[in-house]
Structure 1
Amino acid sequence: MSLKQTITTATLSIMLASSLSFSAASATKKETFQFQNLKAENYRTGTNQYLVYMRDTSTGKILGMELWNRTTNIIEKDGETLVEIRQDWHSTQDRSNRVIYSLNRVKDFSPVFHKTIHGADQAVSAFTFEPNLTKGDTNITGNTQASFSIESKPETLNWELDMETFGLLPLEAGKNFHMNFYHPGSKTPPQEYIYSVTGEETLKGMNGNPLPAWILEIDYGGRGVAKFWIDKETRQTLKMEETFGKIRRYKVRLGLPIEQ
């Protein structure tokens, strides 16, 4: 069996995330974008579902396929109003399955807590976030990342919540967003990435209804490109296409909920 046949969608996702990291220092420096004064009503609660798959463009073969459920709620915890986001990744391969649970502050979408349970062995990795430090949560039983720590910055956002982040941006034609992102647990430190509104397009829903969307794009230092179509009305991500060499990854929002 070839390497391409054995690589899973989740594994390739990690490869893409790590390989596409780059320094934005050569770009014209702009102020890092930070959310301010957000309120609970700025968040769209409920569940979005996505079909996620990868394709080898040289052969046309699909390398892996998953179903993602992403659910957003507003909760009260320890006297603070927080954004709770749960992701359930379902795959035909046990090692690709995972449950991701995140808590963020409402006012600026800054991360507070992040936990992932993944694979057939249900391995746990959990982190807490301070203004200048991301570290493993020692209060979580069985946390494989309990001793982890990495320097951070106050404006750092959780890259696992990119699509929820995009839904909060004040998108408009020609606008650029310099955002400091970090993937919890990664050895690559938080750094700035530039997302640009490069155009707009009207997509068609499953019933043929028009869906006007902004196109938000990032160039990973010439090594790959990702494009997101963001619904102008709901601010939900309708689809994504990401290219890295011969591999192209897709995320497509589904039109109807699927039973849990």
Structure 2
Amino acid sequence: MSAVGMKSTHSEVAKLDFRKGRGIPDMETLSPDTADMYLSLGLREQGKKILGYPRVLMLLSSALDRSVQKNERLLETSQSKDVITIFHGVRPPALTIRQYIERIFKYSACSPSCFVIAQIYMDRFVQNTDVLLTSLNVHRLLITSLTVAAKFVDDAFFNNAYYAKVGGVSTSELNRLEMKFLFSIDFRLHVSIDTFQRYCLLLEKEVSEGLQIERSIQSCRITESWSNKEDSTWYSHSC
């Protein structure tokens, strides 16, 4: 079953929790504190459209960076071995997690809330598979979870061929990653309002834990290949 087909299957459930087309919970039903949190994360716009990247991207990249660093220290100091999956590459990509997330946002037109949903999906994947997030698999898990989130949450989305170019993998590889990912999370795509808000609060905690803001990306030109498949290469694009 394709992800597009699954969206139509689960859409009635999704609309109970998320505003149609943007994946944003209905602001009129939220407390003032929660509404302010969504505005702070960049999940909702106030007044004119703000140029640049929503704050949620920076916080998500920080949270994933922390998780990757913690897991890689654990693997280095313990006798346990990493579980190798189709999401693993031969070497870490040249792009940082933040650069990769901002690239996906810039070219995919995903709503900001998709990135929160993608984090929830990634956590479900980790819980079901016992796979540790590392620098070798986090990028593929990101593009896969965001592809699934966009199809499920947003009314308008691209096909896998486009997302594959944005993410630096081939279409055939993204198709395989998507199906593996969906089966690994048991096709559990529904996200409740409570779960969504809890993850937003966890992202907000990144600020109080000494988040260091990186410099903005200076160039969007990508040339590095990070695939463990010969047919998967970075999609070169000039800003």
Same fold (TM over 0.5): no
Structure (1 or 2) with the greater helix fraction: 2
TM-score range, shorter chain: under 0.3
The one of the two structures with greater contact order (alpha-carbon pairs below 8 A, sep at least 6) is 2
TM-score, length basis structure 2:
0.24
Structure (1 or 2) with the greater strand fraction: 1
